[in-house]
Amino acid sequence: MTKYPTGVAPNKGHLRIWFMYRGSRRWETLGVLDTPKNRKMAGEMRNNIVYQIKTGVFDYRSSFPESRIFKNESVAQDTVVTLRAIADTWLKLKKPELAHSSYKAYERRIRVTIEMMGENLNIRSVKQEDFLNLRNELLTGYHANGRNYKVRKKGRSVSTVNGSMGDLLALFTFAYSNGYIAANPMANIKPLKKSIKRPDPLTREEYPRFIKACNTRQITNFWTLAIMTGMRHGELCALAWEDIDLVAKTITVARNLTSEGLFTPPKTEASNNRVICLVDGAIHALQDQMEFTRLCPPFAFDFHTREYEERIPDQKTFVFNPSVGAVNGNYGAHYSVDSIGQTWTTTLKRAGLRHRKAYQSRHTYACWSLAAGANPNFVANQMGHTDAQMVYQVYGTWMQENNTEQIAMLNHKLNEFVLQVCSTQKTA
């Protein structure tokens, strides 16, 4: 006798199937006779439903319009749930698991996309076409109704658009999982392909011109340390003398300053409390900076840990302090991340160098270190990456283009070894 496929069972001479839907086991009668052929067809139907549920495209009402679960839902289906309402609910529930800066980024991106789609739009009326139109609008900066959205001169980058679409996918997956919508219209929208951005470091010829163009010694020391350590700018703004051991020639990275002005742990777990080994150029910059800020009074602040709503009072003496030498009293005890980015742009212009983003200071450290023969694992550790995979992904092409320097280094090292062996053999 033919066995029943998984999820298929008899029901008074007919067949019914079961499947897991939103955390509950659902039984639905098929209304077909219990025959071997129908059992096979029921099993295939059930497998297809399971796949649709898994991919987020299952429409329960159209598949089983007479199901008992819809008998008492007429009022609920008529209730309008707006995009803004579901977004507010999702962000509220998401907040405890995110760092403050990450939450603000989510909130900002969701606000923009919801405004473009329509805050008061019924979430049940949103179609896949709406998301594809939104994606095009984000890419081009041109709104579907014929007006420029917030008069953007150009569209957003592919990375930014993928991030915004990823936020909406998470939002609508939440809505689907909690019964606000019968199917997820974003389920089959794939991220846009993007090219890997190549690093654009300062060259060895550009670096002296850049440093010479810095308008103060303190800014000179800041960017020297940034390029010689690969530290993130928020980590440098939050760097304190208590984190530095000039005898051991190390920096312990213990905190980060966000663009909102909050002191938090560094960006990733691998970045937190990592020990950076200082090269001579970094040590000289710090020794020069001591003259300006080492004896400044400590500054009190709240340190926001990764635990939700936890703040720890702390006080530190910051290495870079804009109030030193300031003409007026409008400066605080540490630089902001935005103001540091402005000094980079200004210095590039003053030096007559081609513009690139301030983050290239970090790329400069990595490229120079790899060109000098540093182990990629060491570079990854110094920069706060979990492993060397990120180094290979970002700098792989650049490393291949600089193989000539690697060959020169190998020739130098191997020639020393070969000459030593030959000398030993001749002596013997």
Catalytic residue among 106, 176, 335, 395: 395
Question: For this structure, is 26 an active site residue?
Answer: no
Residues 181-238 pLDDT 10s: 888 898 888 999 887 778 899 998 999 999 999 999 999 999 999 999 999 999 999 9
Catalytic residue among 267, 284, 350, 356: 267
Q: Are 379 and 390 in contact (CB under 8 A)?
A: no
CA-CA-CA-CA torsion sign (207, 224, 359, 246): positive
Distance, CA of 375 to CA of 253 (rounded, Å): 21
pLDDT of residue 70: 66
Question: For this structure, is 363 an active site residue?
Answer: no
Would you state the structure tokens that stand for residue 114, as one six-digit string?
């919801």
Q: What is the mean pLDDT of the chain?
A: 85
Query: pTM surpassing 0.75?
Result: no
Cβ neighbours around 211 below 10 Å, total: 18
Q: Are strands 8-11 and 14-21 parallel, antiparallel or unpaired?
A: antiparallel
Domain borders along the chain are 8-77, 80-177, 206-406
**Over residues 105-129, mean pLDDT:** 90
Question: For this structure, is 349 an active site residue?
Answer: no
Radius of gyration of the chain (CA): 30
Is the model's pLDDT at 299 over the cut of 80? yes
Give the class (CATH, top level) of 206-406: mainly alpha
Q: Are 344 and 223 in contact (CB under 8 A)?
A: yes
CATH fold, domain 80-177, is: DNA polymerase; domain 1 (1.10.150)
Q: Residue holding tokens 């707006």?
A: 82
Same CATH fold, 206-406 and 80-177? no
Q: Are 243 and 375 in contact (CB under 8 A)?
A: no
Is the model's pLDDT at 122 over the cut of 50? yes
Question: For this structure, is 362 an active site residue?
Answer: yes
Is the model's pLDDT at 147 over the cut of 60? no
Give the DSSP letter string of 257-275: E-TTS-EE--SSTTTTTEE
pLDDT of residue 169: 92
Catalytic residue among 135, 255, 274, 385: 385
Catalytic residue among 46, 334, 362, 363: 362
Distance, CA of 319 to CA of 151 (rounded, Å): 41
Strand order in the sheet with 244-245: 244-245, 250-253, 274-277
Catalytic residue among 16, 39, 232, 363: 232
Q: Where is pLDDT greater, at 120 or 76? A: 120
Question: For this structure, is 68 an active site residue?
Answer: no
